Protein backbone atom coordinates (compact mmCIF):
# COMPACT_ATOMS: atom_id res chain seq x y z
CA UNK A 1 0.00 0.00 0.00
CA UNK A 2 1.33 3.41 -0.98
CA UNK A 3 1.84 5.86 1.89
CA UNK A 4 2.35 9.62 1.92
CA UNK A 5 3.35 11.73 4.92
CA UNK A 6 0.99 14.60 5.71
CA UNK A 7 2.05 18.04 4.55
CA UNK A 8 2.23 20.85 7.11
CA UNK A 9 -1.12 22.24 6.01
CA UNK A 10 -2.81 18.83 6.05
CA UNK A 11 -1.53 18.24 9.57
CA UNK A 12 -2.87 21.66 10.57
CA UNK A 13 -6.31 20.81 9.13
CA UNK A 14 -6.30 17.43 10.87
CA UNK A 15 -5.60 18.93 14.30
CA UNK A 16 -8.03 21.80 13.67
CA UNK A 17 -10.91 19.37 13.49
CA UNK A 18 -12.89 18.38 16.58
CA UNK A 19 -16.36 17.17 17.54
CA UNK A 20 -17.46 20.73 18.29
CA UNK A 21 -15.68 22.32 15.31
CA UNK A 22 -15.48 19.91 12.36
CA UNK A 23 -12.90 20.97 9.79
CA UNK A 24 -15.02 19.67 6.95
CA UNK A 25 -16.43 21.04 3.73
CA UNK A 26 -20.00 20.54 2.53
CA UNK A 27 -21.66 20.98 -0.85
CA UNK A 28 -25.20 20.73 -2.21
CA UNK A 29 -25.72 20.52 -5.99
CA UNK A 30 -29.22 20.83 -7.47
CA UNK A 31 -30.31 19.22 -10.76
CA UNK A 32 -33.38 19.36 -12.98
CA UNK A 33 -34.18 16.00 -14.57
CA UNK A 34 -34.01 12.37 -13.54
CA UNK A 35 -30.97 10.54 -12.23
CA UNK A 36 -29.68 7.17 -13.41
CA UNK A 37 -28.73 5.60 -10.09
CA UNK A 38 -26.38 2.77 -11.18
CA UNK A 39 -24.56 4.92 -13.72
CA UNK A 40 -24.05 7.75 -11.25
CA UNK A 41 -22.63 5.30 -8.71
CA UNK A 42 -20.32 3.88 -11.38
CA UNK A 43 -19.19 7.37 -12.36
CA UNK A 44 -18.38 8.29 -8.75
CA UNK A 45 -16.39 5.11 -8.09
CA UNK A 46 -14.60 5.24 -11.46
CA UNK A 47 -13.44 8.81 -10.93
CA UNK A 48 -12.51 8.25 -7.27
CA UNK A 49 -9.76 5.86 -8.44
CA UNK A 50 -8.14 8.82 -10.21
CA UNK A 51 -8.04 10.78 -6.93
CA UNK A 52 -6.46 8.51 -4.29
CA UNK A 53 -6.44 11.16 -1.54
CA UNK A 54 -10.25 11.09 -1.44
CA UNK A 55 -10.38 7.51 -0.21
CA UNK A 56 -7.19 7.63 1.90
CA UNK A 57 -7.05 6.47 5.50
CA UNK A 58 -4.98 8.39 8.04
CA UNK A 59 -2.57 6.31 10.13
CA UNK A 60 0.61 6.71 12.18
CA UNK A 61 3.95 5.46 10.93
CA UNK A 62 7.40 5.47 12.49
CA UNK A 63 7.80 7.84 15.44
CA UNK A 64 4.00 8.38 15.32
CA UNK A 65 4.36 10.43 12.15
CA UNK A 66 0.99 11.04 10.50
CA UNK A 67 0.61 9.53 7.05
CA UNK A 68 -1.99 8.78 4.40
CA UNK A 69 -2.55 5.15 3.41
CA UNK A 70 -3.71 5.24 -0.22
CA UNK A 71 -6.02 2.33 -0.89
CA UNK A 72 -7.17 2.13 -4.55
CA UNK A 73 -9.73 -0.55 -3.62
CA UNK A 74 -11.50 1.57 -1.02
CA UNK A 75 -14.83 2.90 -2.31
CA UNK A 76 -16.68 6.11 -1.49
CA UNK A 77 -19.88 5.62 0.56
CA UNK A 78 -22.99 6.64 -1.39
CA UNK A 79 -26.34 6.97 0.38
CA UNK A 80 -29.59 7.26 -1.56
CA UNK A 81 -32.68 8.91 -0.14
CA UNK A 82 -36.08 8.13 -1.60
CA UNK A 83 -38.71 10.69 -2.70
CA UNK A 84 -40.33 10.52 0.73
CA UNK A 85 -37.08 12.02 2.07
CA UNK A 86 -37.28 15.02 -0.25
CA UNK A 87 -36.57 17.41 2.58
CA UNK A 88 -33.38 15.57 3.57
CA UNK A 89 -30.25 17.70 3.98
CA UNK A 90 -26.91 16.01 4.55
CA UNK A 91 -25.41 16.53 8.02
CA UNK A 92 -22.32 18.57 8.78
CA UNK A 93 -20.38 16.71 11.45
CA UNK A 94 -16.98 15.57 12.67
CA UNK A 95 -15.09 13.05 10.52
CA UNK A 96 -12.30 10.96 12.02
CA UNK A 97 -10.04 10.11 9.03
CA UNK A 98 -8.36 7.37 11.06
CA UNK A 99 -11.67 5.47 11.24
CA UNK A 100 -14.26 7.05 8.96
CA UNK A 101 -14.35 7.40 5.18
CA UNK A 102 -13.00 10.93 4.55
CA UNK A 103 -15.62 11.67 1.87
CA UNK A 104 -19.30 10.72 1.60
CA UNK A 105 -22.05 11.25 -1.00
CA UNK A 106 -25.76 11.63 -0.26
CA UNK A 107 -28.26 11.79 -3.13
CA UNK A 108 -31.93 12.76 -2.80
CA UNK A 109 -33.98 11.90 -5.90
CA UNK A 110 -37.52 12.79 -6.82
CA UNK A 111 -39.38 12.80 -10.13
CA UNK A 112 -37.87 15.48 -12.33
CA UNK A 113 -35.22 16.68 -9.88
CA UNK A 114 -32.41 15.48 -7.64
CA UNK A 115 -29.87 16.86 -5.21
CA UNK A 116 -26.33 15.68 -4.57
CA UNK A 117 -24.46 16.32 -1.31
CA UNK A 118 -20.73 15.92 -0.69
CA UNK A 119 -19.30 16.03 2.82
CA UNK A 120 -15.56 15.55 3.33
CA UNK A 121 -12.70 16.21 5.71
CA UNK A 122 -10.81 19.32 4.61
CA UNK A 123 -7.43 17.61 5.10
CA UNK A 124 -7.90 15.44 2.01
CA UNK A 125 -8.65 18.22 -0.47
CA UNK A 126 -9.20 21.93 -0.90
CA UNK A 127 -12.00 23.53 -2.91
CA UNK A 128 -10.11 23.59 -6.18
CA UNK A 129 -9.35 19.87 -6.01
CA UNK A 130 -12.89 18.97 -4.94
CA UNK A 131 -14.56 20.92 -7.75
CA UNK A 132 -12.21 19.37 -10.33
CA UNK A 133 -13.16 15.94 -8.95
CA UNK A 134 -16.87 16.81 -9.20
CA UNK A 135 -16.48 17.98 -12.81
CA UNK A 136 -14.80 14.70 -13.75
CA UNK A 137 -17.78 12.85 -12.24
CA UNK A 138 -20.06 14.95 -14.45
CA UNK A 139 -18.02 14.05 -17.55
CA UNK A 140 -17.96 10.35 -16.68
CA UNK A 141 -21.67 10.22 -15.82
CA UNK A 142 -22.52 11.96 -19.10
CA UNK A 143 -20.37 9.43 -20.97
CA UNK A 144 -22.07 6.47 -19.29
CA UNK A 145 -25.60 7.85 -19.91
CA UNK A 146 -25.34 9.52 -23.34
CA UNK A 147 -22.23 7.90 -24.85
CA UNK A 148 -20.37 11.22 -25.12
CA UNK A 149 -16.60 11.09 -25.25
CA UNK A 150 -15.32 14.25 -23.59
CA UNK A 151 -11.71 13.63 -22.48
CA UNK A 152 -10.82 13.62 -18.81
CA UNK A 153 -7.83 15.74 -17.75
CA UNK A 154 -4.47 13.98 -17.63
CA UNK A 155 -3.41 13.32 -14.04
CA UNK A 156 -0.04 12.28 -12.65
CA UNK A 157 -0.54 10.85 -9.17
CA UNK A 158 3.21 10.57 -8.68
CA UNK A 159 3.06 14.35 -8.24
CA UNK A 160 1.17 13.89 -4.97
CA UNK A 161 4.53 13.30 -3.29
CA UNK A 162 5.53 16.81 -4.41
CA UNK A 163 2.21 18.53 -3.66
CA UNK A 164 3.91 20.70 -1.03
CA UNK A 165 6.52 22.17 -3.40
CA UNK A 166 4.06 24.68 -4.96
CA UNK A 167 5.86 24.70 -8.29
CA UNK A 168 8.89 26.47 -6.79
CA UNK A 169 12.37 25.72 -8.05
CA UNK A 170 15.46 26.28 -5.90
CA UNK A 171 16.09 29.55 -7.75
CA UNK A 172 12.50 30.68 -7.07
CA UNK A 173 12.93 30.00 -3.36
CA UNK A 174 16.16 32.02 -3.22
CA UNK A 175 14.53 34.94 -5.05
CA UNK A 176 11.63 34.95 -2.57
CA UNK A 177 13.81 35.16 0.56
CA UNK A 178 13.61 38.99 0.97
CA UNK A 179 9.80 39.01 0.61
CA UNK A 180 9.43 36.01 2.92
CA UNK A 181 11.65 37.60 5.56
CA UNK A 182 9.56 40.78 5.45
CA UNK A 183 6.43 38.65 5.55
CA UNK A 184 7.63 36.83 8.66
CA UNK A 185 8.14 40.15 10.43
CA UNK A 186 4.57 41.11 9.51
CA UNK A 187 3.32 37.69 10.64
CA UNK A 188 5.01 38.16 14.02
CA UNK A 189 3.08 41.40 14.50
CA UNK A 190 -0.18 39.77 13.40
CA UNK A 191 0.36 36.78 15.68
CA UNK A 192 0.80 39.02 18.73
CA UNK A 193 -2.19 41.21 17.89
CA UNK A 194 -5.43 40.87 19.89
CA UNK A 195 -8.15 40.07 17.35
CA UNK A 196 -11.80 40.68 18.12
CA UNK A 197 -14.62 38.20 17.67
CA UNK A 198 -17.55 39.33 15.54
CA UNK A 199 -19.53 39.62 18.77
CA UNK A 200 -18.43 38.68 22.27
CA UNK A 201 -19.04 35.02 23.06
CA UNK A 202 -21.48 34.33 25.87
CA UNK A 203 -19.58 31.13 26.68
CA UNK A 204 -16.19 29.63 25.91
CA UNK A 205 -16.16 27.64 22.65
CA UNK A 206 -14.44 24.76 24.45
CA UNK A 207 -17.73 24.18 26.29
CA UNK A 208 -19.80 23.93 23.08
CA UNK A 209 -21.67 20.71 22.41
CA UNK A 210 -20.83 18.77 19.21
CA UNK A 211 -22.58 19.90 16.06
CA UNK A 212 -25.46 17.70 14.90
CA UNK A 213 -27.70 17.83 11.87
CA UNK A 214 -27.35 19.97 8.73
CA UNK A 215 -25.22 23.13 8.63
CA UNK A 216 -26.75 26.49 9.47
CA UNK A 217 -26.29 28.87 6.57
CA UNK A 218 -27.80 31.77 4.62
CA UNK A 219 -27.29 31.78 0.86
CA UNK A 220 -28.33 34.06 -1.98
CA UNK A 221 -27.77 33.96 -5.72
CA UNK A 222 -27.33 37.24 -7.62
CA UNK A 223 -28.28 37.41 -11.29
CA UNK A 224 -25.91 37.87 -14.20
CA UNK A 225 -26.57 41.62 -14.54
CA UNK A 226 -25.72 42.22 -10.88
CA UNK A 227 -22.47 40.28 -11.21
CA UNK A 228 -21.56 42.20 -14.38
CA UNK A 229 -22.25 45.47 -12.58
CA UNK A 230 -19.98 44.43 -9.68
CA UNK A 231 -17.21 43.58 -12.13
CA UNK A 232 -17.64 46.94 -13.83
CA UNK A 233 -17.59 48.82 -10.52
CA UNK A 234 -14.41 46.99 -9.48
CA UNK A 235 -12.78 47.58 -12.88
CA UNK A 236 -13.40 51.33 -12.62
CA UNK A 237 -11.35 51.28 -9.42
CA UNK A 238 -8.69 49.05 -10.97
CA UNK A 239 -9.56 46.36 -8.47
CA UNK A 240 -11.03 42.85 -8.61
CA UNK A 241 -14.44 41.67 -7.43
CA UNK A 242 -12.55 39.78 -4.72
CA UNK A 243 -10.95 43.05 -3.52
CA UNK A 244 -14.36 44.68 -3.56
CA UNK A 245 -16.01 41.95 -1.48
CA UNK A 246 -13.16 41.94 1.05
CA UNK A 247 -13.50 45.70 1.50
CA UNK A 248 -17.28 45.68 1.79
CA UNK A 249 -17.23 42.72 4.15
CA UNK A 250 -15.06 44.74 6.51
CA UNK A 251 -17.42 47.72 6.05
CA UNK A 252 -20.48 45.53 6.69
CA UNK A 253 -18.97 44.09 9.88
CA UNK A 254 -18.30 47.63 11.11
CA UNK A 255 -21.86 48.78 10.41
CA UNK A 256 -23.32 45.60 11.89
CA UNK A 257 -21.29 45.92 15.10
CA UNK A 258 -22.37 49.57 15.37
CA UNK A 259 -26.00 48.46 15.01
CA UNK A 260 -25.53 45.91 17.80
CA UNK A 261 -23.45 48.35 19.85
CA UNK A 262 -20.76 45.66 20.01
CA UNK A 263 -17.03 46.15 20.53
CA UNK A 264 -15.05 49.36 20.50
CA UNK A 265 -13.22 51.49 17.87
CA UNK A 266 -9.80 50.06 18.75
CA UNK A 267 -10.82 46.45 18.01
CA UNK A 268 -8.96 44.62 15.26
CA UNK A 269 -11.24 42.82 12.78
CA UNK A 270 -9.39 40.09 10.91
CA UNK A 271 -10.60 38.45 7.72
CA UNK A 272 -8.71 35.23 6.98
CA UNK A 273 -8.47 34.37 3.30
CA UNK A 274 -7.56 30.89 1.98
CA UNK A 275 -5.14 31.24 -0.94
CA UNK A 276 -4.68 28.75 -3.78
CA UNK A 277 -0.93 28.09 -4.22
CA UNK A 278 -1.19 25.91 -7.33
CA UNK A 279 1.36 26.64 -10.05
CA UNK A 280 0.98 25.86 -13.76
CA UNK A 281 2.98 22.68 -13.20
CA UNK A 282 0.32 21.49 -10.74
CA UNK A 283 -2.36 21.09 -13.44
CA UNK A 284 -1.83 17.33 -13.41
CA UNK A 285 -2.34 17.03 -9.65
CA UNK A 286 -5.33 15.01 -8.51
CA UNK A 287 -7.50 16.33 -5.67
CA UNK A 288 -5.45 17.40 -2.64
CA UNK A 289 -4.61 20.51 -0.60
CA UNK A 290 -2.39 23.13 -2.20
CA UNK A 291 -3.50 26.17 -0.24
CA UNK A 292 -2.51 28.45 2.61
CA UNK A 293 -4.08 31.31 4.58
CA UNK A 294 -3.43 35.05 4.68
CA UNK A 295 -4.90 37.67 7.03
CA UNK A 296 -6.38 41.08 6.26
CA UNK A 297 -6.66 43.22 9.41
CA UNK A 298 -8.48 46.52 9.89
CA UNK A 299 -9.29 48.47 13.03
CA UNK A 300 -12.98 48.98 13.74
CA UNK A 301 -12.59 52.77 13.72
CA UNK A 302 -11.55 52.67 10.05
CA UNK A 303 -14.38 50.52 8.72
CA UNK A 304 -16.53 53.44 7.55
CA UNK A 305 -14.04 54.64 4.91
CA UNK A 306 -15.09 52.46 1.98
CA UNK A 307 -12.86 53.99 -0.70
CA UNK A 308 -9.85 53.46 1.56
CA UNK A 309 -10.95 49.91 2.35
CA UNK A 310 -11.08 49.08 -1.38
CA UNK A 311 -7.66 50.63 -2.00
CA UNK A 312 -6.11 48.82 0.97
CA UNK A 313 -7.68 45.46 0.00
CA UNK A 314 -6.29 45.81 -3.52
CA UNK A 315 -2.83 46.78 -2.25
CA UNK A 316 -2.73 43.96 0.30
CA UNK A 317 -3.77 41.27 -2.17
CA UNK A 318 -1.31 42.53 -4.80
CA UNK A 319 1.51 42.46 -2.24
CA UNK A 320 0.52 38.93 -1.14
CA UNK A 321 0.53 37.65 -4.72
CA UNK A 322 3.71 39.45 -5.77
CA UNK A 323 5.71 38.26 -2.75
CA UNK A 324 4.03 34.83 -2.63
CA UNK A 325 3.18 35.62 0.98
CA UNK A 326 0.79 32.71 1.19
CA UNK A 327 3.91 30.72 2.03
CA UNK A 328 4.33 32.61 5.31
CA UNK A 329 1.64 30.64 7.14
CA UNK A 330 3.34 27.42 6.02
CA UNK A 331 6.64 28.70 7.40
CA UNK A 332 4.86 29.49 10.67
CA UNK A 333 3.55 25.92 10.75
CA UNK A 334 7.06 24.59 10.06
CA UNK A 335 8.35 26.58 13.06
CA UNK A 336 5.43 25.50 15.27
CA UNK A 337 6.01 21.85 14.40
CA UNK A 338 9.48 22.11 15.94
CA UNK A 339 8.28 23.68 19.19
CA UNK A 340 6.96 21.81 22.22
CA UNK A 341 3.49 20.45 21.47
CA UNK A 342 3.91 21.00 17.72
CA UNK A 343 1.05 21.86 15.40
CA UNK A 344 -1.44 20.11 17.69
CA UNK A 345 -0.79 22.67 20.46
CA UNK A 346 -0.91 25.52 17.93
CA UNK A 347 -4.40 24.44 16.89
CA UNK A 348 -5.79 24.33 20.44
CA UNK A 349 -6.41 28.04 20.67
CA UNK A 350 -7.70 29.84 23.74
CA UNK A 351 -8.27 33.19 22.05
CA UNK A 352 -9.65 34.59 18.82
CA UNK A 353 -7.26 34.45 15.86
CA UNK A 354 -9.78 35.23 13.13
CA UNK A 355 -12.96 37.30 13.16
CA UNK A 356 -14.35 35.70 9.99
CA UNK A 357 -13.15 33.61 7.04
CA UNK A 358 -13.78 34.78 3.48
CA UNK A 359 -13.12 32.37 0.63
CA UNK A 360 -13.78 33.07 -3.05
CA UNK A 361 -13.80 29.92 -5.19
CA UNK A 362 -14.07 32.00 -8.36
CA UNK A 363 -15.78 31.14 -11.62
CA UNK A 364 -16.53 27.46 -12.12
CA UNK A 365 -16.89 25.31 -15.23
CA UNK A 366 -16.82 28.27 -17.62
CA UNK A 367 -14.98 26.17 -20.23
CA UNK A 368 -16.66 22.82 -19.62
CA UNK A 369 -17.60 20.81 -22.75
CA UNK A 370 -20.94 20.16 -21.01
CA UNK A 371 -21.84 23.84 -21.07
CA UNK A 372 -25.19 25.00 -22.50
CA UNK A 373 -25.88 28.36 -24.20
CA UNK A 374 -27.24 29.66 -20.88
CA UNK A 375 -23.92 28.60 -19.23
CA UNK A 376 -25.45 25.84 -17.09
CA UNK A 377 -24.12 22.30 -17.55
CA UNK A 378 -26.06 19.47 -19.19
CA UNK A 379 -25.13 16.20 -17.49
CA UNK A 380 -26.57 12.85 -18.54
CA UNK A 381 -29.94 14.35 -19.46
CA UNK A 382 -30.11 16.56 -16.33
CA UNK A 383 -29.41 20.27 -15.99
CA UNK A 384 -27.05 21.29 -13.21
CA UNK A 385 -28.91 24.36 -11.97
CA UNK A 386 -27.00 25.64 -8.95
CA UNK A 387 -25.00 24.63 -5.93
CA UNK A 388 -24.33 25.80 -2.39
CA UNK A 389 -21.05 25.22 -0.60
CA UNK A 390 -19.73 26.16 2.81
CA UNK A 391 -16.38 26.44 4.58
CA UNK A 392 -15.88 25.44 8.24
CA UNK A 393 -15.76 27.97 11.09
CA UNK A 394 -13.25 27.73 13.93
CA UNK A 395 -13.35 28.40 17.71
CA UNK A 396 -13.96 32.12 18.40
CA UNK A 397 -14.58 32.64 14.67
CA UNK A 398 -18.32 32.53 14.39
CA UNK A 399 -18.86 32.54 10.64
CA UNK A 400 -17.41 32.00 7.19
CA UNK A 401 -18.43 33.51 3.87
CA UNK A 402 -17.92 31.58 0.66
CA UNK A 403 -18.57 32.98 -2.83
CA UNK A 404 -18.53 31.48 -6.30
CA UNK A 405 -19.77 32.20 -9.81
CA UNK A 406 -21.62 29.57 -11.82
CA UNK A 407 -23.56 30.12 -15.05
CA UNK A 408 -22.73 33.82 -14.81
CA UNK A 409 -24.44 34.16 -11.43
CA UNK A 410 -22.75 35.08 -8.16
CA UNK A 411 -23.67 33.09 -5.03
CA UNK A 412 -22.75 34.24 -1.53
CA UNK A 413 -23.18 31.87 1.42
CA UNK A 414 -22.75 32.70 5.09
CA UNK A 415 -22.13 29.62 7.27
CA UNK A 416 -22.57 30.54 10.91
CA UNK A 417 -22.13 28.94 14.32
CA UNK A 418 -25.63 29.07 15.78
CA UNK A 419 -24.24 28.31 19.25
CA UNK A 420 -22.47 31.69 19.27
CA UNK A 421 -24.28 33.69 16.58
CA UNK A 422 -28.10 33.54 16.66
CA UNK A 423 -29.97 33.29 13.37
CA UNK A 424 -31.37 36.82 13.52
CA UNK A 425 -27.91 38.33 14.00
CA UNK A 426 -26.47 36.20 11.18
CA UNK A 427 -29.30 37.34 8.88
CA UNK A 428 -28.63 40.96 9.86
CA UNK A 429 -24.92 40.65 9.00
CA UNK A 430 -25.71 39.01 5.65
CA UNK A 431 -28.28 41.68 4.80
CA UNK A 432 -25.89 44.52 5.60
CA UNK A 433 -23.12 42.88 3.50
CA UNK A 434 -25.58 42.47 0.61
CA UNK A 435 -26.72 46.10 0.89
CA UNK A 436 -23.11 47.33 0.98
CA UNK A 437 -22.35 45.48 -2.25
CA UNK A 438 -25.55 46.48 -4.07
CA UNK A 439 -25.36 50.03 -2.75
CA UNK A 440 -22.08 50.47 -4.63
CA UNK A 441 -23.77 49.91 -8.01
Task: Examine domains 2-161 and 168-362+392-439 and report if their fold is the same.
Answer: yes
Tell me the CATH number of domain 2-161, given options 3.40.47.10, 3.40.50.300, 2.60.120.590, 3.30.559.10: 3.30.559.10
Q: What is the structure's pLDDT at 175?
A: 67
Q: What is the pLDDT of residues 154-203, one digit of tens each?
A: 999 999 998 888 777 667 667 666 777 677 777 777 777 899 999 988 78
Q: Where are the domains of the chain?
A: 2-161, 168-362+392-439
The alpha carbon dihedral of 142, 143, 147, 153 has a sign of positive
Q: What is the structure's pLDDT at 434?
A: 96
pTM for the whole thing?
Answer: 0.93
The C-alpha atoms of residue 58 and residue 6 are separated, in whole angstroms, by 9
* Helices (runs of H) and strands (runs of E) counted in the chain: 11, 15
Give DSSP secondary structure letters for 324-353.
TTTHHHHHHHHHHHTSTTHHHHHHS-SS-S
Paired with 297 in beta bridges are 270
Tell me if 11 sits within 8 A of 66, measured CB to CB: yes
CATH class of the 168-362+392-439 domain in this structure: alpha beta
Q: What is the pLDDT of residues 243-299, one digit of tens each?
A: 999 999 999 999 999 999 988 999 999 999 999 999 888 889 999 999 999 999 999
Q: What is the pLDDT of residues 75-129, one digit of tens each?
A: 999 999 976 666 889 999 999 999 999 999 999 998 899 999 999 999 999 999 9
Amino acid sequence: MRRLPLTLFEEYLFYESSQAFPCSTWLQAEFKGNVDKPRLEDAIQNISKRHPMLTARLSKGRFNRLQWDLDPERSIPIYWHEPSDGSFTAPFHFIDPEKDPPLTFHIVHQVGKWRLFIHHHHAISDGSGSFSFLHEIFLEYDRLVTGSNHPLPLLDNDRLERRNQYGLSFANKIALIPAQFAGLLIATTLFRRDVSELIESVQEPKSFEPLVGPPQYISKQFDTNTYKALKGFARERKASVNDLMLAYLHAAIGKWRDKLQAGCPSDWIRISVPLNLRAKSDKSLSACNVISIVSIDRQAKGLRKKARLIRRAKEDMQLIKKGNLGLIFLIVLWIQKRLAGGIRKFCHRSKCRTSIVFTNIGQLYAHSPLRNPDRTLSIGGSIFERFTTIAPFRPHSQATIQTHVYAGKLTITLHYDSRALPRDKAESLFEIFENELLGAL
